[in-house]
Amino acid sequence: MRKTVFITGATSGIGEACARKFAQGGYNLIITARRAEKLAEIKAQLEAEGAKVKTLTFDVRDAQAAQAAVESLDEEWQKIDVLINNAGLALGLDKEYEGDPEDWNTMIDTNIKGLLTMTRLIVPGMVKRNEGHVINVGSVAGDAAYAKGNVYCGTKAAVKAITDGLRIDVAETAVRVTNLKPGLVETNFSNVRFHGDNERAENVYKGITPLTGADIADVAFYAASAPKHVQIAEVLILATHQANGSTIHRQ
């Protein structure tokens, strides 16, 4: 029987790449994000390649909408084997005492509370069935703060603690829990972070070959495909010439 993966933030970057990778790997897909049109476009592409795809349009910050979306799934889609909590963002790169509290709230509500909302909705079914896998997209930013990263780094440190906490809480079950911690991945991430300033976004990846969404999707798929007795607990994936969140050697 084909397995089902549920991916948040599947309209771009790492989430979209995960959708493509898991589709190629024979999974049925539930792809979710806020942009319905983009979801429909990806669904059409993947279905043309033979995948079975369901789209759910909601904002992970809206717990009621998330609940309604999950509850709208009919029986054939209810058995979720892999949850990829990927939806997230950074907003701004400012000194903490000069940052925009609205940006902070958006990051905290999306990266932390949104991830918790999806976990709370989907993991009980996994625990009940005594199988499943949660893959949270953390970041190298959660390992240590970097200059002006303050709140974003804090949200990814929270993802690390919340992921570790879940792994403890499901240890008596066969549910596996993974924290993926990418470094520099060229996606829409920096365009979003700099509120649409594309030139500033491009500079983030200058002088270094960054990772791609597909590089991260490969690791997610590997973790999901590992033998049942193997739990890939955490993976730090950096670009070559990147040593951590602060040390990046540019040519």
Interacting residue ranges for ligand NDP, rule: CB under 6 A: 8-15, 33-35, 38, 59-61, 86-89, 110, 114, 137, 139, 182, 184-185, 187-189, 192, 213
Q: Would you say 172 or 199 has its CB closer to ligand NDP?
A: 199
Contact flag: residue 141 with ligand 8X3 (CB under 6 A): yes
Residues annotated as catalytic (active site), given as ranges: 152
Q: What one-character-per-residue DSSP string does 120-156 give?
A: HHHHHHHHHHT--EEEEE--GGGTS--TTTHHHHHHH
The verdict on 140 binding ligand 8X3 (CB under 6 A) reads: yes
Nearer to ligand 8X3, 29 or 211 (CB): 211
The edge-to-edge listing of strands for the beta sheet with 133-137 is: 53-57, 28-33, 4-8, 82-85, 133-137, 176-182, 234-237
Residue 29, both tokens: 């897909």
Stretch touching ligand 8X3 by CB under 6 A, among 72-80, 117-125, 139-147, 225-233: 139-147
User: Does residue 121 interact with ligand 8X3 by CB under 6 A?
Assistant: no
The binder of ligand 8X3 chosen from 139, 150, 155, 179 (CB under 6 A): 139
Nearest distance, CB of residue 116 and ligand 8X3, angstroms: 18
Quick one: which of 210, 215, 203 has its CA closest to 241?
210
Locate 26 and state its tokens: 């024979």
Burial of 244 (0-12, 13-18, 19+ CB in 10 A): middle
Give the shortest CB-10-to-ligand 8X3 separation in angstroms.
18
Q: How far is the CB of 131 from ligand NDP (least distance, A)?
A: 25
Give me 68's structure tokens.
Answer: 């309604």
Q: What is the CA radius of gyration of the chain?
A: 17
Which 180-209 residues touch ligand 8X3, going by CB under 6 A? 183-184
Q: Residue ranges of the alpha helices (H) in the chain?
A: 13-24, 36-48, 63-71, 75-78, 101-107, 115-129, 150-169, 189-193, 198-203, 213-225
Q: Which does 245 bind (CB under 5 to 8 A by kind): ligand NDP, ligand 8X3, none?
A: ligand 8X3
Query: Which tokens sit at 111?
Result: 């990266």
Of residues 217 through 246, those in contact with ligand 8X3 by CB under 6 A are: 245
| Residue ranges in contact with ligand 8X3 by CB under 6 A | 139-141, 149, 183-184, 245
